[in-house]
Structure 1
Amino acid sequence: MRFFVRTAAGAAVAALALAGCGSSSSGGSSSGSAAGGTSAGASSAPAASAAGGSDAAGSGAASAAPSGGASSGGTTTGKTVKVGLAYDVGGRGDKSFNDLAAAGLDKAKQSLTIQTKELSAVQGETDAQKGERLTLLAQSGYNPIVAVGFAYATALGKVAPKFPKTQFAIVDDNSIKAPNVEGLVFTENQSSFLVGVAAALASKTKHVGFIGGVQTPLIQKFQAGFAAGVKAVDPSDKVDVAYLSQPPDFSGFNDPAKAKVTAQGMYDKGADVVYHAAGGSGSGLFQAAAASKKWAIGVDSDQYQSAPADQKQWILTSALKGVDVAVDSFIEGVAKGSFTAGFKRFDLKSGGVGYAKSNPALQPYESKIDDFASKITSGALTVPETVG
């Protein structure tokens, strides 16, 4: 039984990969983000558990590769694969959700000859604009195409039927029932539960906080898991909850200033550990944590590794989400002719989610966190997915 954890050795490679995710190929605007840590040793390699009983495996940390044009690295197909990525707000460089998708693309470049086009969403755009972006990629011959984030669901549901020979994936959504669409989904509640346990164990005030970017069912899934983890350690612990914006306003995923103010308010009221599921806004939490000298918990990637030097010591851990592995697995599957419509779920048992062990300050709590992880993977403990 393996748990998805990143440690200093493994995460250092991933951090280098993300550091290399600067510019996107063939243009594309770069704005906000939709959502996204590690000690000595190797990181477990996340694998996908596919709907319908089949499994898809991936590898762990991703390495940086040039962005744009054709990239070769020991191709297994003998042909150039044209891959299109439609990022959520933020694109490459958000140090979170989008960067993980970019790292998955870069990982695929190690074994395939790939030509890419990467385009980013802009703040406040409509579903029609998202549809235009997907249409542009499809009309330009990119196949497969990855839509990064559930915000693309409505647009992809309309675009996919128009391009039946193009194979699409969408991260964080499994609502689209089409023969050329695969959903890449995760058990974020499980990884959030584990960092909730970490928060409760580290808290001296028995008072913690959760900041969500936008109050959607997906982000509430993070909240539900986190609160359950905290309460599993001590039911009397207090959990403050705040969301930065409400749909259809998705600015909460790219508003560090608001996150900083929100986090500071929680710290001022007695919370001494705050977890965010707010994408690019998370940097505001880290700023507040460093200023208050209190704990923060990151999301999606190992944010201890990518934080500025003055902030990283305050990032206790991160809830990890193998978006990089999912994207790599999808691209390689299409290239090898093994695309399957439906969805693949990446969970704790298969190594698709987990928690980061980069910060040595977490070490006193790791054995207890792993005990809870074992209960989850064995089926002895079921983590709630909804708030209530």
Structure 2
Amino acid sequence: MQHRQTVKGNFSLTNPAVRAWIYQILAVVVLLVFIGHLLHNTVTNVSHRGITSGFGFLNNAANFGIVQHLIDFEQGDTYARVFLVGLFNTLLVSALCIVFASILGFIIGLARLSENWLLRKLSMIYIETFRNIPPLLQIFFWYFAVLRNLPGPRNSINASELIFLSNRGLYMPYPVAGEGALAALIAFGVAIVAAVGLYRFNKKHQMKTGEPRRSWPWIILLLVALPLLVQWVAGPAVHWDVPALRGFNFRGGVVLIPELAALALALSVYTSAFIAEVIRSGIQSVPHGQHEAARSLGLPNPVTLKQVILPQAMRVIIPPLTSQYLNIVKNSSLAAAIGYPDMVSLFAGSVLNQTGQAIETIAITMGVYLVISLCISFLMNIYNQRKALVER
């Protein structure tokens, strides 16, 4: 009898655990009802307007051209091809900004901790200036105030008649694979394997005997001489397609359009200011005793920074650095403001206007950004786990 009363008491509304489960179940039910209501309204409105749903529109022809595409694209290709062009353009600008912002942020972050008063103050001004100006305004500045005011193609700035800079973009020679391309690629791979083996051999020799051996002169010789020797035998690995002025614009080569340059410059400079503060805070999180211990051993400052400080600071740097990389990917959607053909401009803009498939195009665009961000987070988390301090 007492056992039954105890069980009954456990399922009573006076039990906090029971009330908590009831509240959670009610919250889930309300959420499901809300989602169902939204889906019902969406399906009803789409059917009333005669809009066909589904992803069959991806096989239809796109009646517009794209100024920049990393894969072949012509007007009349399918919307699925447009999706690939927008995806690659988004990945391109995101990768460029991540690389440039990381390098620039690391340099500015170290300058922020410099013992030189002028260098320290200039880096502080850089950080406080660029991180407090909205990225969209910085994009407009680089695009309208700088790049669009460059001279036209006929008066372009050129370097040895190979590289041309104008308001149409930066035109550079483009490498085209030659008859010796495969042989040179294999030779370069062999050179990399040999260089790694030589470095490890010299490292083991130093650990055993204490006698250091220089590896870098032989590594450079391997990486340069072996592919050149193979090209001399098998033929040139590449031919260069050099841009030339034809009419009112350049033809040939590869072009870095002003929209891409403005977006990459603005986002790199903007994000580098945040990364610089991440680097500074990470380095300052390392106990000062580590600096003193390195000095007592006679280690020079560059070696101390590389071998002692940065390995300990990375566990603090990586999590906020990941957030900055994610912000770069998301801020790249601002490209639509200046007409750079990224995912938002192409798929959530041009394709949506031509097809009217709002739900599908927006869902695809959101899904792309979500997948890219999750991949970056996954890779950075793996790197973070490898750099984490393990207590034994």
Identify, as 1 or 2, the structure richer in helix: 2
TM (norm. structure 2) is 0.21
Identify, as 1 or 2, the structure richer in strand: 1
